[in-house]
Structure 1
Amino acid sequence: MRVDDHAPLALSADDLCLPVYVFEPAVMQAHDFDASHQRFINQSLLELDAALRQRGAQLLLLSGNVPEVFEKLHEAFPFSRIVSHEETGNAITYKRDLALKEWTRRKGVEWLEYAQTGVVRRLKNRDHWAGKWLERMTKPIIEAPPRLVLPPHIGDFSFSLMPHVVSDKVTQPGGESKAKETLASFLSSRGRNYQKEMSSPVTAEASCSRLSPYITWGNISLKRVYQASRQVKRADWQPSMRSFQSRLWWHCHFMQKLEDEPEIEFHNFSRAYDGLREDEFNSVYFQAWCEGMTGYPFVDACMRALHQTSWLNFRMRAMLVSFAAYHLWLHWKPCADFLARHFLDYEPGIHYSQFQMQSGVTGINTVRIYSPAKQATEQDPQGHFIRQYVPELANLPAQYLARPELTPPLVQQLYGVRIGVDYPEPIVDEKVALNRAKERIFTVRKTAFAMAEADRVQAKHGSRRT
């Protein structure tokens, strides 16, 4: 949803061009879609239409099943070619792409797709993938075409956005101009201490790039972001810029996993872990986790912050997933579906890969179990973040915020906070829960089947230096 660095749009400038966006009921009614996503899309489409009108075109908004929509469109404007970007989405969009491909075959319509990330279609293996990524990221930026020519009678179609449910979430606004403003502020001031400040939710809100929703929804290209970051020459910025650029690489690395194996949206990377958690799903634990009522303040603060803002820094996302997977022993799939709706920057390839990695079922990654109390002490030592999002504990001294259940009764009385009444006791005993989790995960990890699966997963999905 942009005009800048948009290969399909630039290619279409040499002929009649009809920019189309289709609202798809199957996507909008899916388990991973939220009103906040629709609001961001609407904001982006409004700005895109304005940019197209400045160039003599306009955006055609349609709704329905994509092949059926294009059938009707073809009747009105008999076109011979569709030009778009490649997409690595969920199972619904993959099924839609297959259906559209079949429609184009039947109609004799050419469909040209252009890469917009480092994801490589029909990749045989990961050898030399890093080099291919760099080659794509260093290609020249494609400037927005100055003029576009619409087919005749396009005015017969109305411009109508899809309504979205009013939300009280305070989220980033969509649009290409907002994306560019966010990039500029990150590379001119906010990003200087990115490397040092991205881990704490107290500092990450400002010091992280905050570009993820704009990249996810196509308001800005990954290539433009990468090349702009390379233009930062100040010596004291270089550690942060290198760290940031590596994360752009990881962005595509994880998307490539879903491209290569779409089934990971539904099943474990390593099939050795099938059945490990699925049959023991505790709905009470799950609900407490979803609501930010686990009795672990730093976990609850992160979840509630996400509810309000639709964003959370990476380390805190990893802690949320780790807590669900190990402390609560919840299967990753329902948790992934829930957080997909709450992440404004939900990118399926990154989302499902990371969920499985943080849940210990890839078979090739280190098992990382985060201690919420340790994270609170390290990342929120003064308790600012906990007090902001868990106001029930706001009156407690900082020394008790990480583990409020250890607050002496007299102190609770003094500060007017009753653990177990105003704020819940821990939903599980951490030591007992983690001992059990470690024993079960490592028992599987040591089996011959798990080792064989690890070799298979590493060969197919493991990162390479080149």
Structure 2
Amino acid sequence: MKKQISIVWFKRDLRLRDHAPLKQAIESQTPLVLLYCFEPDLIKNPHYDIRHWRFVWESLADMQVLLSKFNQNLEIVHAPFTKVLSKLNEAYGIKAIYSHEETGLQVTYNIDKWVNRFCQEHRIDWHETPNNGVVRGLKNRQSWVDNWYKSMQEDIQTPDLSRLKTIKTDKSTFTSFANSIPPVFQERNEYFQPGGATYANKYLKSFLNERVARYNSSISKPEASRTGCSRISPYLAWGNISLKEVYQARMAAKKAEQNLRNLAAFGSRLQWHDHFVQKFESEDRYEFENINRGYNQLNRTHSPTLFEAWKNGRTGIPMVDACMRCLHKTGYINFRMRSMLVSFLTHHLWQHWKEGAVYLASQFLDFVPGIHYTQFQMQAGTTGINTIRIYNPIKQGQDHDPDGVFIKKWLPELANIPAQYIHEPWNIPPIEAQLLGISPSVLKPLVDIKQAAEHARKALWKHKKSDLVKKEGQKILAKHTLPNRKMQ
């Protein structure tokens, strides 16, 4: 008779604290396989980049350090979970699978559907736990806010690792997957935040104890935000820390009665996190089509030349190019600048949002499908229910990087531009540019900002008034609108 085991399937929940599936699995007293699969279909998916898989590897390594203290092990393989599950089922009797629900891309949803069929066919219990405050199968938002607060205030589900009993799998079970994890995943890149719960807690602690004092004053500034913001977004994205842990740490910090305004602003963004993921959970067509079908008739152009210039930070618009190049190098820019990049692509360059959404996903270290796609469509103006925001990248630079410190940091070709010309370098007198040794090639903007914005504004507002957009907008409001509540 086959030995009975259960599997804890790790996905975007790479931690050992506040992990209800792991806690439930340990309490089942069944021998366990703790499993993470580097999915080939995900690795080759254009939404992802090597930066993501390095972060995941570091997160797994961090987990293994703690597990080794209890003489336990995490199985890490480079193979589809579907194949690994089939192999394990041949070698053992699988009693149950424990995992968190995942609000992911179509590719991960397809994997989940296969696993569900497999479990039904082989009579395996699959225990899925809700992730953060996101509710599967939700019809409307009438009680969502109250339920979200309730979930955030529940006890931390910390597994007792001293009771954990992982099996030593027969190495022949994983023969075809052994030693196949790409070495490049294990290479450290100093420009990116390191993965793992250890660093997640380090960043959160330093933020709540010190850096939160600068939160409101730095959140919109591309340079100051790099230290003034919490910088825990990649740790939330990959589950190195749960939203509940962050929420409760914030509430504990409030008791000190310091930085209350900054903590309130930070807290509102925690609820905002799950609000947008919930939208995607309830309507995942955000990934593929205009959420407001009335915008299917809005004909944006497709220009590979314009897209490549935007993608590579070569538009000639200093703030746009600096943000993109910073993102390439570090995987992070603040929210306002992300919105500006989307606005510039979809409004000033008048390109469809889809290709840009996939590309920026590959660059954001903290890429969360639910937040990414719902926000992208909101900024692109295809929801029909949000204010149309056309960010002026020149004004954004003047307001949030007045001396061009951030711009010059990421655009060395503009290092000699005087501050009065840094946001519109094409206005520098030719003789002065020549004396400063500035190449004329860096002084040519890709588009006229004013004219391009005017074209987009007229087209978007005209379309927003159409009957179909309004009709679709009412459906969206009925499904996704939150009752008015202030952050606690």
Q: What's the TM-score, normalizing by structure 1? A: 0.96
Q: Name the structure 1 match of 2:197.
A: 176
**TM-superposition CA deviations, 1:80-116 (whole Å, max 9, x none):** 1101111101010011111100100000000001123
Pair 1:413-2:434 in alignment: yes
**TM-superposition CA deviations, 1:277-334 (whole Å, max 9, x none):** 45x1111110100011111101100000001100110000001101111100011110
The one of 437, 442, 461 equivalent to 2:461 is 442
Shift of 1:458: 0.9
Shift of 1:62: 2.6
SS in structure 1 of the partner of residue 93 of structure 2: coil
Pair 1:124-2:146 in alignment: no
Does the aligned pair in 1 maintain the 2:78–2:180 contact within 8 Å?
no
The 1:371/1:152 distance shift into structure 2, 3 A limit, reads: closer
1:38-57 mapped onto 2 (5 Å cutoff): 38-57=53-72
Alpha-carbon distance in 2 for matches of 1:227, 1:364: 32
Q: Name the structure 1 match of 2:471.
A: 452
Pair 1:64-2:114 in alignment: no
SS in structure 1 of the partner of residue 162 of structure 2: coil
Q: What's the TM-score, normalizing by structure 2? A: 0.92
Does the aligned pair in 2 maintain the 1:23–1:162 contact within 8 Å?
no
Pair 1:164-2:184 in alignment: yes
Q: What amino acid is aligned across from residue 195 of structure 2 in structure 1?
A: G
Does the aligned pair in 2 maintain the 1:364–1:458 contact within 8 Å?
yes
The 1:392/1:147 distance shift into structure 2, 3 A limit, reads: same
Pair 1:5-2:18 in alignment: yes
Alpha-carbon distance in 2 for matches of 1:298, 1:149: 51
SS in structure 2 of the partner of residue 274 of structure 1: helix
The one of 278, 288, 301 equivalent to 2:322 is 301
Alpha-carbon distance in 1 for matches of 2:166, 2:135: 33
**TM-superposition CA deviations, 1:156-195 (whole Å, max 9, x none):** 3668744336686710000110111011111111111211
Does the aligned pair in 1 maintain the 2:32–2:167 contact within 8 Å?
no
The one of 323, 332, 345 equivalent to 2:366 is 345
SS in structure 2 of the partner of residue 19 of structure 1: strand
Q: Name the structure 1 match of 2:3.
A: none
State the identity as a percent.
41
Alpha-carbon distance in 2 for matches of 1:463, 1:277: 31
Q: Name the structure 2 match of 1:267.
A: 289
Q: What amino acid is aligned across from residue 191 of structure 1 in structure 2?
A: V
The 1:141/1:443 distance shift into structure 2, 3 A limit, reads: same
Does the aligned pair in 2 maintain the 1:212–1:345 contact within 8 Å?
yes
Alpha-carbon distance in 2 for matches of 1:168, 1:84: 30
Alpha-carbon distance in 2 for matches of 1:160, 1:12: 28
Does the aligned pair in 2 maintain the 1:56–1:149 contact within 8 Å?
no
Alpha-carbon distance in 1 for matches of 2:190, 2:382: 32
SS in structure 1 of the partner of residue 127 of structure 2: strand
The 1:259/1:177 distance shift into structure 2, 3 A limit, reads: same
Q: What amino acid is aligned across from residue 133 of structure 2 in structure 1?
A: G
SS in structure 2 of the partner of residue 316 of structure 1: helix
The 1:151/1:411 distance shift into structure 2, 3 A limit, reads: closer
Alpha-carbon distance in 1 for matches of 2:392, 2:37: 44
SS in structure 2 of the partner of residue 335 of structure 1: helix
**TM-superposition CA deviations, 1:378-422 (whole Å, max 9, x none):** 100111001100111111111100111111112212322133x2x
Q: What amino acid is aligned across from residue 405 of structure 1 in structure 2?
A: W
Pair 1:221-2:253 in alignment: no
Q: Name the structure 1 match of 2:214.
A: 193
User: Which stretch of the first structure deviates more once superposed, 455-464 or 253-262?
Assistant: 455-464
The 1:455/1:343 distance shift into structure 2, 3 A limit, reads: same
Alpha-carbon distance in 2 for matches of 1:153, 1:305: 44
Q: What amino acid is aligned across from residue 434 of structure 1 in structure 2?
A: A
Does the aligned pair in 2 maintain the 1:277–1:330 contact within 8 Å?
no
1:20-169 mapped onto 2 (5 Å cutoff): 20-150=35-165, 152-154=167-169, 156=171, 161-164=181-184
SS in structure 1 of the partner of residue 140 of structure 2: coil
User: Which stretch of the first structure deviates more once superposed, 99-108 or 156-165?
Assistant: 156-165
SS in structure 2 of the partner of residue 431 of structure 1: helix
Q: Name the structure 1 match of 2:9.
A: none
**TM-superposition CA deviations, 1:125-171 (whole Å, max 9, x none):** 11111111111111011224132443544263668744336686710
SS in structure 2 of the partner of residue 57 of structure 1: coil
User: Which stretch of the first structure deviates more once superposed, 226-235 or 314-323?
Assistant: 226-235
Shift of 1:50: 2.0
Q: What amino acid is aligned across from residue 23 of structure 2 in structure 1?
A: A
Does the aligned pair in 1 maintain the 2:34–2:166 contact within 8 Å?
no
Shift of 1:236: 3.9
Shift of 1:202: 1.7
Pair 1:370-2:394 in alignment: no
For structure 2, the 5+ residue unaligned runs are 1-13
SS in structure 2 of the partner of residue 154 of structure 1: coil
Alpha-carbon distance in 1 for matches of 2:167, 2:376: 48
The 1:205/1:151 distance shift into structure 2, 3 A limit, reads: closer
Does the aligned pair in 2 maintain the 1:5–1:143 contact within 8 Å?
yes
The one of 425, 449, 452 equivalent to 2:444 is 425
Does the aligned pair in 1 maintain the 2:390–2:457 contact within 8 Å?
no
The 1:275/1:170 distance shift into structure 2, 3 A limit, reads: farther
SS in structure 2 of the partner of residue 218 of structure 1: coil
Q: What amino acid is aligned across from residue 184 of structure 2 in structure 1?
A: H
Aligned residues: 463
SS in structure 1 of the partner of residue 286 of structure 2: helix
